[in-house]
Amino acid sequence: MPLVRIDMIAGRAAADVAAISQAVHQAMVECLNVPRRDRFQVITEHAPGRLVFNPAYLEVPRTEGIVLIQVFLSGGRDEAQKRAFYARAAQLLTEGAGMRPEDVTIALAENTRADWSFGNGRAQYLEMPKEQWR
């Protein structure tokens, strides 16, 4: 169910981009109760001047290796789950995708179960029993 937009400055190797994609998804599966097959991401690379960031906000030293990860997902995760997700994503992106933890920037945006259609013109999350919600 989440739709994830991942924005970065162009220049990474294809394997690194793929590793970033995988690490973000893995952290969502582990910490946000997202099914493994529920993977929908839009990855966009930008020219340097087009991804604007402050390299020191909140005393976190960021570099041009910054990645902005915006996750649109149904509401229902609590603060503890969100915190766990941030921590795990930073860990996986550092260990597996060559990132600096300071460059992992995440923003969530919540909607509801009625706000999703996964094909065939249907609202699948309204059709399944609540017990299957994830």
Q: How far is the CB of 103 from a copy of itself (least distance, A)?
A: 7
Task: Pick between residue 89 and residue 97 the one whose CB is nearest to a copy of itself.
Answer: 89
- How many residues touch a copy of itself under the rule CB under 8 A: the total is 63
The structure tokens 């402050």 sit at: 54
Closest by Cα among 35, 107, 109 to 74? 109
61 is catalytic: no
Q: Which of residues 74-113 bind a copy of itself (CB under 8 A)?
A: 79, 82-83, 86-91, 101-111
**What is the largest distance, in Å, between two alpha-carbon atoms of the chain?**
47
Q: How far is the CB of 6 from a copy of itself (least distance, A)?
A: 9
Residue 99: CB atoms within 10 A of its CB come to 24
Q: How far is the CB of 92 from a copy of itself (least distance, A)?
A: 10
Q: Which of residues 9-68 bind a copy of itself (CB under 8 A)?
A: 14, 17-18, 21, 35, 37-46, 49-54, 56-58, 60, 62, 68
Tell me the C-alpha distance between 74 and 95, whole Å. Answer: 28
Tell me the C-alpha distance between 7 and 11, whole Å. Answer: 12
